[in-house]
Copies of this chain bind each other. A is one copy, B any other.
Amino acid sequence: MLLADIGNTHFHIYDGKKVEHLPYAEAIGKYRGKSLQYISVNRDIEKQIGCIEGWKNVSDFMYIPGEYDTMGVDRKALCLSHDNGVFVDAGSAITVDVMERGIYKGGYIFPGIKAMLESYRRISPALEVPLDEHIDLTRLPLTTKGQISYGIIASIKALIEKHKDKKRLYFTGGDGKLLAGFFRDAIYDETLVFKGMMHTLQISEQ
């Protein structure tokens, strides 16, 4: 069984054990001829891969009660991984979605960490700093690097905690592990989108 989540720049491919991140051409070259089910947020890619034998677009199966019109299919698959929880996908953007008893309750979107840092840099060269990945959130910082890192991480954390109630917190995406580290009992799992796909397509985990 091969599952693919096609994003705006890469294929993310799951073979039931590990996730592989490949540029479009490489993914197509490597997996052409194999049986593969995919979801895609990139409509243009359909022209290139829609006719590949054995590849099936299963995006339309990703339905959640409560979903909204323009909700990305990768977010829907992520939310379909569990009936209850707060789901954070920390990539180029950071999406936060709340699920209760299998129903989508809404969410919100932040720019991704890289986009945020770029945004500070564009405002002023004085604000061009790397993220302090170990920022102490228990005290107000007293350096530019600290105050920017705190602005990014502590604001995301404060808002997520506000809606958490007793729900489990699930993180995925490139910065998911980093962000999860700032929460107690958060679960980081890079296969969540694929778990949502498997659950929906009723593929049993091997």
Chain A residues with CB under 8 Å of chain B are 8, 66, 68, 70, 72, 92-93, 95-96, 98, 105-112, 115-116, 118-120, 122-124, 126-127, 139-144, 147-148, 150-151, 154-156, 158-159, 162-163
Residue of B95, B111, B123 near A93 (CB, 8 A) is B123
Copies of this chain per assembly: 2
Assess the B70–A143 pair: CB atoms within 8 A. Answer: yes
A138 to chain B, nearest CB (A): 11
In the bound complex, residues from chain B placing their C-beta under 8 Å from that of A66 are 142
Assess the A144–B106 pair: CB atoms within 8 A. Answer: no
Given the known interface contacts A127-B93, A142-B68, A155-B158, the answer about A115 and B122 at a Cβ–Cβ threshold of 8 Å is yes
A95→B144 CA distance, assembly (Å): 11
A176→B74 CA distance, assembly (Å): 36
In the bound complex, residues from chain B placing their C-beta under 8 Å from that of A70 are 126, 143-144
A152→B108 CA distance, assembly (Å): 9
Assess the B119–A118 pair: CB atoms within 8 A. Answer: yes
In the bound complex, residues from chain B placing their C-beta under 8 Å from that of A112 are 123
In the bound complex, residues from chain B placing their C-beta under 8 Å from that of A122 are 115, 118
A191 to chain B, nearest CB (A): 24
In the bound complex, residues from chain B placing their C-beta under 8 Å from that of A110 are 151, 155
A74 to chain B, nearest CB (A): 12
Q: Could you say which of A66, A106, A126, A156 has the most chain B C-beta atoms within 10 Å of its C-beta?
A: A106
Assess the B140–A106 pair: CB atoms within 8 A. Answer: yes
